[in-house]
Amino acid sequence: MGTQHPDNAGVPFWGDKPFIESRDETKEVFENFFTLDCDEYMWDWEGKFADEAMIERLLSTYMEHFKKSQIGRDKFITIRIPNVWEEKTFKLARAYMSVLSAAEFAKSFRLATPPVFEFILPMTTTASQLAHIQETFRKTAKLHESIFGKSDFGDGYIRVIPIFESVEEISSCSKILKEFLASTKEKPSHMRVFIARSDPALNAGFVSAMLAVRLGFSEIFSVEKETGIKMYPIIGTGSLPFRGGINPENIKHSLPQYKGAKTITIQSAFRYDYPLADVKKALAYIKKELEKDTKEILDKKEFEKLQKLIRIFKEFYRETVEKFAPQINEMSKFIPGRRERVQHIGLLGYSRGIGETKLPRAIQFTAACYSLGVPPEFIGTGRGLVEAKKQGLLETLKTHFPTIVWELKHAGKFVNKENLEKFSKKYKWAKEIIEDIKLCEEILKIQTGPQKDHHYLHRNLTSNIAVKRELEMDFAKDIVEAAVLRKSLG
């Protein structure tokens, strides 16, 4: 599933600038389907401006291609709608009408209809939210039909895909799924469930997010076993380890961590910051691997061990990030945008008992940390490893996060120890992260710091950024150059 996540550092292979305007997205969808051969594309209405006529433009511009590979039959566009319970928005009704008018447009050309029939709901926290989306769309479809005439949307039934975005909700999602399936009038033959990777890491740390995914998959497949309804998990991954670690260079090392997934998100950095031939090769590998049946349901004892590990790593991470937040927020202001976003404010932990520590969105957060030479993968991880070892849980961690050494080795190449030493003279968070890095090196037997020429160049750029910040000089070019070297903005 290609997505519109704005994490690319460089210029898309089909464009002439790194910033992608909403009017460019028609071209992007076409290239996603017919150059990269992705199966699906996320039409994103959450947190950004959307082209309401995108599907009509797409079909009008590339009709001959879509007569052969039809949307909704051969290629799929799945809309991520705004969550009206979490953010004040006026876009949901427009999203509904765009889907309905796209269906009419496709029908007029005798193409498969409806072209869009699945809605992704971000930040899902209750079964009633999923039911509400289905019911309000049904009413909108009926009203539309009563005014404009019979449509092919039947009684307005659409499939809804929940996204679970905190470690707590991911690791207990079976309750919501079972409640929804018990309450819905139409028993689906299958259900897709979306597990986020960026926001859980932002709110609970790198290790906790990765372990929560393991619990989430176990929860999802336990629902399949209990209800008999097939479950198809989607995992939302970015390129850098903190946000998922799925990129063309390390796909064979990182993909095994997500066994059980049936859809992987391929975000902008994956598609645009690597050579096109490598991207295509990696996508072909992913398709082949996702065909394997790798379902796993954890027993109660193992499940509880992972919950304990999540609490350990989350506590150390949050303790440091709350101190680091002012510097992250300041640096995030200088991270260049890549999409036409609307105003959004992230809140660490969604106010779950840790005060009101504000943080930027996950991409800006990750980019800010890397731009300072402080990969966020290490925050709290070293101290967490010590505590896990003390409690006899280190082997459990390695069993369920077998790629941890590989991921930290990758992130470790972008550590700027000189910057951290400099920051530590002023900030306690820097001292804690230095300790984390040393402990990771000792316990996991890894080396951090630059290893190849482009790592040294990245270190030099992050040193420039730190010095220029103090001198109040412009460091915008340094931020972009560093991002290009690590092949992702954040």
State whether 317 and 264 are in the same domain: no
* Average pLDDT score, the chain: 94
User: Residue holding tokens 């975000």?
Assistant: 267
Separation of alpha carbons 147 and 349, rounded Å: 44
Q: What is the DSSP-derived secondary structure letter of residue 249?
A: T
CA 265 to chain centre: 7
Note whether residue 454 is domain-resident. yes
| Claim to verify: residue 275 and residue 310 sit in the same structural domain | no
Quick one: which of 380, 452, 445, 75 has its CA closest to 202? 380
Q: Which of 290, 310, 333 lies at the terminal end of a domain, its last residue?
A: 290
For residue 317, the model assigns a pLDDT of 98
Q: 3-state SS of 356-388? A: CCEECCHHHHHHHHHHCCCCHHHCCHHHHHHHH
Q: What is the pLDDT of residues 322-359, one digit of tens each?
A: 999 999 999 999 999 999 876 544 444 333 334 478 89
Are residue 46 and residue 145 in the same domain, yes or no?
A: yes
Q: At 91, is the pLDDT very low, low, confident or very high (cuts 50, 70, 90)?
A: confident
Q: Using an 8 Å Cβ cutoff, are 173 and 164 in contact? A: yes
Same domain, 272 and 352: no
Q: Do 312 and 285 share a structural domain?
A: no
Hunting for tokens 């520590």 — which residue is that? 357
Residues 271 and 354 in one domain: no
Q: Would 15 be classed as within a structural domain?
A: no
Q: Is residue 296 part of a domain?
A: no
* Chain position carrying tokens 């609490």: 311
In a domain, 260, yes or no: yes
In degrees, to the nearest 5, what angle opens at C-alpha 314 toward C-alphas 312 and 317? 110
Is 463:373 a contact under the CB 8 Å cutoff? yes
Is residue 144 very low, low, confident or very high in pLDDT (cuts 50, 70, 90)? confident
Q: Rounded to a whole number, what is the largest CA-CA distance in the chain?
A: 70
Task: Say if 3 falls within a structural domain.
Answer: no
- The Cα 5–Cα 64 span in angstroms is 28
Q: What CATH number corresponds to the domain at position 84?
A: 3.20.20.60
**Shared-domain flag, residues 377 and 271:** no
Mark whether 309 and 435 lie in a shared domain: yes
Last residue of a domain, one of 237, 255, 290: 290
CA 403 to chain centre: 18
Question: 290, 314, 333: which is the final residue of a domain?
Answer: 290
203-249: per-residue pLDDT in tens?
A: 999 999 999 999 999 999 999 999 999 999 999 999 999 999 999 99
The verdict on 266 and 352 lying in the same domain is no
Query: Considering the domain boundaries, does residue 118 fall inside one?
Result: yes
pLDDT of residue 343: 52
Q: Is the pLDDT of residue 157 over 90?
A: no
pLDDT reported for residue 88: 67
Residues 268 and 329 in one domain: no
355/259 same-domain check: no
HEC assignment per residue over 157-202: CCEEEEEECCHHHHCCHHHHHHHHHHHCCCCCCEEEEEEECHHHHH
Q: Two tokens at 301?
A: 């004892």
The continuous run of DSSP H or E covering 233 comes out as strand 230-236
Asked if residue 146 belongs to a domain, the reply is yes
126, 121, 131: which is closest to 84 by C-alpha?
A: 121
Q: What percentage of the chain exceeds 90 in pLDDT?
A: 87
pLDDT at res. 49: 80
Is 5 a domain residue? no
User: Structural domain tally of the chain?
Assistant: 2
Q: Domain range spanning residue 276?
A: 22-290
Q: Tell whether 343 and 205 lie within a shared domain.
A: no
